[in-house]
Amino acid sequence: MVRFSEVLQWFRSQFISLPVPTKRYSGQTIIVTGSNVGLGLETARHFVALDAQKVILAVRNRPKGEVAAKSIEQSTRRTGVVEVWDLDLCSYASVKAFANRASTLDRLDVLVSNAGIVTYDFVLAEDNESTITVNVISGLLLALLLLPKLRETSIQFKKETVLTFTGSFVHIMTEFAERKNQNILKSLAVKDKADMKDRYNVSKLIQLLLGRELAKQLTSSAKPGDIAVNVVNPGFVKTEVMRNGGAVFQVFFKPWRALVARPTEKGSRTIMHGAAGGKETHGQYLSDCAVAQPSEFVRSAEGLEVQEKLWDELGEILENVAPWVIKNL
């Protein structure tokens, strides 16, 4: 599944000039998950600078979230815009509590599902290994829970709303052997068979497949409202996402980060491109602030088959977490 040409294309893209975001968000409400550091923080900073009325930092660590909020206020010279809300994607109860609170907002124009983790330690969180729970299942759960608010905003203000996921180029860097298992998500929860060195790559491939399927499901929905769904590759960026990477990161990734990684603000421009929406981005993989091709596997017949299989498996999990949530489609 891993193709040298795709890896080479990614390497070249690291040095592409990316446009500074200019779209205004006057009067709009934005949620950015995982926004106390890195890409999420710089993305939230852009939204505030571009005149958003309310920007919610959805974070696991409230003290760090408060520090991030102050940093944004100081750099943009705008106060009363940023709010810090608690969200722990390791906990389905936390996700549901956050969504219940967000349902009381006057509007929700953009949801940036950015939070993610990298770890080489196998730890269960809810019904799966933590990388899968955080990077895949909880992110999709939150998206589905907030669809009614995104749809309501779209109808009330006669505009497109946007759901964008922070994906990764690393989806091309896995053989994804688990795809052949009878139940893919359940197999990823088996510690003895887990290849944790490959787990982040797998999680980003699954996230991309499910993001594409979510877009497809919304396109076929009879419910009113205009919601654009896309998955963004910010490239290789200097962030703290690898802080739990351990020795593997120190030996293999850290030297490459110093050489080719994008500054965090530059990487956040790609997320702002996804958040700007547009019909041309719906259901698409975005890279370098443009619609791009995902891996050959994602585009293949087998990829589509696995995508639909994963959607069914996700539905089975969410049926036990929030039995009504799929009806939000």
Segment 274-288, tens digit of pLDDT: 999 999 999 999 999
Judge whether residue 326 has pLDDT over 60.
Answer: yes
∠ CA 206-141-233, nearest 5°, is 40
Cα–Cα distance for residue pair 152/107, rounded to 1 Å: 8
Task: Give, rounded to a whole angstrom, the gap between the first and last alpha carbons of the chain.
Answer: 32
pLDDT value for 245? 47
Helices 196-220 and 138-157: crossing angle in degrees, nearest 10, is 30
Q: Which residues of 121-160 are buried (b: 16+ CB within 10 A; e: fewer)?
A: eeeebbebbbbbbbbbbbbbbbbbbbbbbbbbbbeeeeeb
Please tell me the predicted confidence (pLDDT) of residue 16: 79
The winner for highest mean pLDDT among 9-18, 84-93, 238-247 is 84-93
Over pLDDT 90: what percentage of the chain?
A: 85
Find the catalytic residue in 25, 92, 200, 285. 200
Which run of H or E residues covers position 82?
A: strand 82-86
Residue-wise pLDDT tens digits, 111-164: 999 999 999 999 999 989 999 999 999 999 999 999 999 999 999 999 999 999
The SS3 assignment for 300 reads: coil
204 a catalytic residue: yes
pTM of the predicted protein model? 0.92
Task: Report whether pLDDT(14) > 80.
Answer: no
For the chain, what is the total number of helices (H) and then of strands (E)? Answer: 13, 10
pLDDT reported for residue 236: 85
- pLDDT, residue 249, reads 45
Q: How many CB atoms lie within 10 A of CB 250?
A: 11
Residue 252: pLDDT band (50, 70, 90) is very low
**Interstrand relation of 124-125 and 227-233 (parallel, antiparallel or unpaired):** unpaired
Q: H or E segment at 30?
A: strand 29-33
Give the chain's domains with CATH numbers.
Answer: 4-328 (3.40.50.720)
Write down the catalytic residue from 149, 204, 266, 309: 204
Burial readout 72-95 (b: 16 or more C-beta within 10 A, e: otherwise): bbeebeeeebbebbebbbbbbebb
Q: CB of 297 within 8 A of CB of 179?
A: no
